[in-house]
Chain A
């Protein structure tokens, strides 16, 4: 809570009183980075700003956008969730087996997809709070491996494809459908972001999440149920991974056990670029949205310019370092 106050104080100093241009840029470093990138790509590629390309970016950003919400919550509580990519695979494969192989009602299969994700997330929370594993790094590293292994086992390590042929058009509608040029996935991400923005800024759960990350002992003393807050955070992160699984399954018309491998790192990058700190207590939905967009636009733009993927990886690494360095400058400016 204390952190928010500092943030607000800094905001009023930095922007509204316009004391220092440097401070202003530092505060919105990622945003200006995104803006610069968009301007650069608009100038160098004549297809970048077309509706179809923007719709591509929205589709390609969907999975990372959803996973990043879970990571944001975990990182605000000074935690981490490494299991999101594996939870995605397990949820996606569970749904594919139910809907395609067993012919279960597609709606129930979709619910199951979300439920599997939430359940594994809940396990993460329980491991952390009830088994008292010392850091979520460990509990989620464990479930990351377990969930990936289970996804490989239940599918027999093969992709399970054909939601369309199984009559599960709803899955395809969510993951691949669009209204005009705007993908359904984009609406879902926007709705999720609005909901989580409200949760974080206007509910007691949100205040508890920031308080736990800012200072756990103080939060406990002030009567916040820290364990319950943490279990909720990891369950929500699992739910987001389940939702991401639903979207990716629709997008690829398939459930495959290797899905999401390494995606947790992109999600962490998005959250950190968006200004959250590993020390906990800070981070916003809007910052995360910018982080997600920055990575998605970078990936898209580099393919449009026909830059090999190797260089895309280098570029994203540099952006992470640059964004966090800007954050360091901001911290210094505060003193």
Chain B
């Protein structure tokens, strides 16, 4: 009897693990209509272009700004009907695939997708192209996906380089810097890390550790605490998103250290923190532009117009010195 109970419970636990892995996902059937959709327009006359924008997650400030850009595009061009979709967590690749598949079934006119992982998403995106739905990649490029119509986004490597140069400008040659990055394997974070590492090493700084913290504030804080302890001479932390940078700031503050801490995204929370003299800087992308130009490019492709293969949406380091200009 007891044995049976144990077996049932062991199976139940396994199920729990599997389910909890999928838990943050928007469910396949309800995701499209219920996911926060800032870009939805009331259904208008026939002939409108249906563009589905599928991002990595709909739960952070950054993706909301992308969503605001999507909304902006539908106002610029009222013949575009855009939906803004995505799973709840950036690590939920499966969830993103399900959402894209639902859009293929719904026969949208074009897809604008920010792929969370290149290799996993590529077959699904290829399926869309094969079904006659053009795909514009936004935010994150997949180099090997040649069937895409265009890439609209930030030059993340350049952003990393600018962050590295900014940090180098504040430190001396030989100083120690640690990098906290997003989920291992995420191509955007690879670029942001590589760009910064190159710039830091070119300036003679030592990158003493690179640790992933999954773009999460609490994890970023724990990792930063451990890094600060393990490297007492640490002078700066570069985090490949603002959530982790804000966590790192909390860690440095608790340890009584003043470090140069630079994030990436220029999220509202990070800007407040820069204004308060906490974070040293954050690499700004222009997420609104990514959303806006992403939709407009996708619409142009759907209409059969020719578009640039790479639409650069710009990048700059926001600091206490230029934040007033940036916020305008």
Contact = CB atoms under 8 A, between A and B. Distances in A.
Q: Does chain A bind chain B?
A: yes
Interface of A: 45, 47, 50, 52-53, 56, 59-60, 63, 78, 80, 82, 135, 137, 141, 144-145, 148, 152, 156-159, 161-162, 176, 178, 248, 251-254, 256-259, 261-262, 264-265, 268, 278-279, 299-300, 303-304, 306, 308-310
Given A82-B20, A252-B218, A157 B272 contact: no
Contacts of B61: 158-159
Nearest to A61: B222
A110 B10 CA distance: 37
A308 B212 CA distance: 7
B106 interface: no
A261 B272 contact: no
Given A158-B60, A159-B61, A265-B17, A60 B225 contact: yes
Nearest to A176: B254
B220 to A, nearest CB: 9
Interface in B3-40: 5-6, 9-10, 12-13, 15-17, 19-20, 23-24, 36
A252 B212 contact: no
Specify which of B60, B212, B254 lies most central, judged by the most chain A CB atoms within 10 Å of its CB: B254
Contacts of B17: 265
Contact of B59 (A141, A258, A265, A278): A258
**A-B residue pairs, 3 tightest by C-beta:** A303-B226, A157-B59, A278-B9
B229 A251 contact: no
Contacts of B218: 63, 248, 251-252, 259
B20 A262 contact: yes
A217 to B, nearest CB: 11
A264 to B, nearest CB: 7
Nearest to B253: A176
B209 interface: yes
B177 to A, nearest CB: 14
24 contacts: A47-B232, A53-B229, A56-B229, A63-B218, A78-B5, A137-B12, A148-B23, A156-B36, A157-B58, A157-B60, A159-B61, A253-B250, A258-B59, A258-B216, A261-B89, A262-B20, A265-B17, A265-B20, A279-B2, A300-B226, A303-B226, A303-B230, A306-B211, A309-B214
A179 to B, nearest CB: 13
With a 10 A CB-CB cut-off, give which of A178, A253, A258, A310 has the most chain B CB atoms: A258
Nearest to A140: B16
Contacts of B247: 252
Contacts of A258: 24, 59, 88-89, 216
B221 interface: yes
B221 A251 contact: yes
B59 A252 contact: no
B230 A304 contact: yes
B4 to A, nearest CB: 10
A157 B36 CA distance: 9
A147 B20 CA distance: 13
Contacts of A303: 211, 223, 226-227, 230
Contacts of A261: 23-24, 89
Contact of A268 (B2, B13, B230): B13
Interface in B228-263: 229-230, 232, 243, 246-247, 250, 254-255
Contacts of A279: 2, 5-6, 9
Nearest to B92: A261
A283 to B, nearest CB: 14
Contacts of A162: 272
Given A251-B250, A279-B5, A47 B229 contact: yes
B50 interface: no
Contacts of B206: none
Nearest to B88: A152
B231 to A, nearest CB: 9
B229 A309 contact: no
Contacts of B269: 159, 161, 254
A252 B36 CA distance: 25
B6 A306 contact: no
Contacts of A253: 250
Nearest to B15: A137
A40 B269 CA distance: 40
B246 A161 contact: yes
B78 to A, nearest CB: 26
A80 B184 contact: no
Tell which of B64, B209, B222, B243 has the most Cβ of chain A within 10 Å.
B222
A264 B21 CA distance: 11
A310 B19 CA distance: 21
B211 to A, nearest CB: 6
A135 B12 contact: yes
B217 A256 contact: yes
Contacts of B225: 56, 59-60
Given A82-B16, A141-B16, 10 more contacts: A59-B225, A148-B23, A159-B61, A252-B217, A254-B217, A254-B269, A261-B24, A279-B6, A279-B9, A309-B213
A309 B211 contact: yes
Contacts of B2: 279
